[in-house]
């Protein structure tokens, strides 16, 4: 009898242990907002092949290619992965306050290195991307991680329409910005440059933005060595990614790089495993006006601004004003470990 009651007493503990284990191991719900895009395609297939993530939707934003081509590409990618269960929705048609700048120069005529994938078996969801984001965040409060890897137009539209989603989002991991110079020009990274007003809305929304910038992406390179690893086993996805990587590497080598920057895939990698990145809390402002610096992410590494107070005809420094961090800025990545993860997830698929 006593033994029975002891055993019964353990049942609730066992139940909670199993529940806690299940919660710890349940995949994280993510929405990838994307402008596919060679590195977007790599990022999407990494996400779809990673058991740590449950991709709730792909929402398409204009950037590397226009919205129509981007939606077609996203649908072809989920079809290639045999995942017509993934919701794919179009979004904004243009940036908030400027003309669209597309990047076929880097991504090929169709945005996917000129590789023609079969017509998609999957259908687009009729909902508007930003509305879908709002809907999913409310459906799964505190569970959804947003992974925007294109210009931030869709996210800005969602946040502007329904600011109540901000505290309900579990995390937001963006590919965008840089704290050490840009990849468009001396100052700006492409995703921020292509819609600085949207980026300013997103950075000021009230959440902590995990910022995986171009400066770190450019130190996380896929090289010929990794390409050879990818080519060693064949499958529809790995063959496709190998073709993209070859195109992307050749383009990067022509521009003087040793390998191709894994911009978007690294953001997905950090969502899978934050220990792949060295992160530091900072306050980041987006420059929307500067003559040479529009689209720059201006990161404050000190956590404060000088406090200048007017005394007669001049100002005097009177200490400093603390700034609240709004971003976890990625300073470095464990590039080899990330590349191994990427290759292992794509290889043989
Ligand atoms: Ca992208």
Region 104-109 average pLDDT: 94
Cα 211 to averaged position of ligand 1 atoms, centre (Å): 14
Cα 262 to averaged position of ligand 1 atoms, centre (Å): 10
Confidence of residue 255 (pLDDT cuts 50, 70, 90): confident
Cα 149 to averaged position of ligand 1 atoms, centre (Å): 4
Cα 39 to averaged position of ligand 1 atoms, centre (Å): 6
Cα 36 to averaged position of ligand 1 atoms, centre (Å): 6
How far apart, in whole angstroms, are the C-alpha atoms of residue 217 and residue 262? 5
Asked if residue 161 has pLDDT above 70, the reply is: yes
- pLDDT tens readout for residues 199-214: 999 999 999 999 999 9
Asked if residue 58 has pLDDT above 60, the reply is: yes
Instruction: Identify which of 27, 228, 175, 38 has the alpha carbon closest to the alpha carbon of residue 114.
Output: 38
Cα 123 to averaged position of ligand 1 atoms, centre (Å): 21
Asked if residue 316 has pLDDT above 70, the reply is: yes
- pLDDT tens readout for residues 143-159: 999 999 999 999 999 99
Asked if residue 54 has pLDDT above 70, the reply is: yes
Mean model confidence pLDDT for the chain: 94
- pLDDT tens readout for residues 111-126: 999 999 999 999 999 9
Of 3-12, 178-187, 195-204, 339-348, the one with minimum mean pLDDT is: 3-12
Region 244-265 average pLDDT: 94
Of 177-191, 247-261, 271-285, 306-320, the one with minimum mean pLDDT is: 247-261
Cα 61 to averaged position of ligand 1 atoms, centre (Å): 9
Asked if residue 19 has pLDDT above 60, the reply is: no
Cα 58 to averaged position of ligand 1 atoms, centre (Å): 12
Q: For residue 163, how far is the Cα from the chain centroid? A: 20
Q: For residue 290, how far is the Cα from the chain centroid? A: 26
- pLDDT tens readout for residues 288-301: 999 999 999 999 98
Cα 187 to averaged position of ligand 1 atoms, centre (Å): 18
The answer to whether 174 and 202 have CB atoms below 8 angstroms apart is yes
How far apart, in whole angstroms, are the C-alpha atoms of residue 111 and residue 35? 9
- The percentage of the chain sitting over the pLDDT mark of 70, rounded to a whole number, equals 93
- Phi/psi of residue 330, nearest 5 degrees: -75, 120
- Amino acid 348: pLDDT: 87
Cα 65 to averaged position of ligand 1 atoms, centre (Å): 9
Cα 15 to averaged position of ligand 1 atoms, centre (Å): 43
pTM of the predicted model as reported, rounded to 2 decimal places: 0.92
Beta 28-34 vs 144-148: how paired, if at all? Answer: parallel
Cα 191 to averaged position of ligand 1 atoms, centre (Å): 7
Other Cβ atoms closer than 10 A to 74: 28
Region 274-285 average pLDDT: 98
């Amino acid at each position: 009898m006593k033994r029975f009651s002891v055993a019964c007493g353990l049942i609730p503990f066992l139940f909670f242990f199993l529940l806690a284990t299940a919660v710890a191991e349940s995949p994280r719900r993510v929405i990838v907002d994307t402008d596919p895009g060679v590195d977007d395609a790599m990022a999407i297939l990494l996400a779809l092949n990673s058991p740590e993530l449950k991709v709730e939707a792909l929402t398409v934003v204009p950037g590397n290619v226009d919205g129509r081509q981007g939606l077609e590409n996203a649908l072809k990618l989920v079809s290639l992965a045999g995942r017509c269960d993934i919701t794919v929705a179009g979004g904004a048609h243009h940036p908030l306050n400027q003309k669209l700048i597309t990047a076929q120069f880097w991504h090929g005529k169709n945005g996917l290195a000129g590789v023609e994938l079969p017509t998609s078996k999957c259908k687009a969801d009729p909902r508007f991307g930003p509305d879908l984001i709002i809907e999913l965040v409310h459906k799964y409060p505190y569970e959804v991680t947003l992974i925007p890897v294109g210009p931030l137009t869709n996210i800005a539209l969602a946040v502007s329409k329904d600011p109540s989603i901000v505290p309900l989002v579990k995390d937001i991991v963006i590919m965008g910005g840089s704290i050490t110079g840009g990849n468009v020009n001396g100052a700006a990274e492409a995703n921020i440059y292509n819609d600085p007003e949207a980026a300013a809305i997103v950075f000021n929304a009230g959440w902590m933005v995990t910022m995986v910038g171009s400066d770190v992406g450019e130190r996380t390179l896929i090289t010929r060595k990794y390409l050879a690893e990818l080519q060693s086993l064949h499958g529809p996805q790995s063959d496709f990614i190998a073709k993209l990587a070859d195109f992307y590497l050749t383009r990067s080598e022509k521009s003087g790089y040793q390998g191709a920057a894994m911009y978007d895939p690294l953001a997905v990698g950090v969502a899978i495993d934050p220990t792949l990145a060295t992160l530091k809390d900072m306050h980041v402002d987006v420059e929307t006006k500067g003559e040479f610096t529009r689209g720059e992410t201006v990161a404050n590494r000190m956590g404060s601004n000088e406090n200048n107070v007017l005394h007669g005809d001049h100002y005097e420094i009177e200490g400093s004003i603390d700034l609240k961090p709004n971003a976890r800025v990625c300073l470095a990545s464990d590039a080899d470990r990330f590349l191994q993860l990427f290759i292992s997830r794509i290889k043989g698929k």
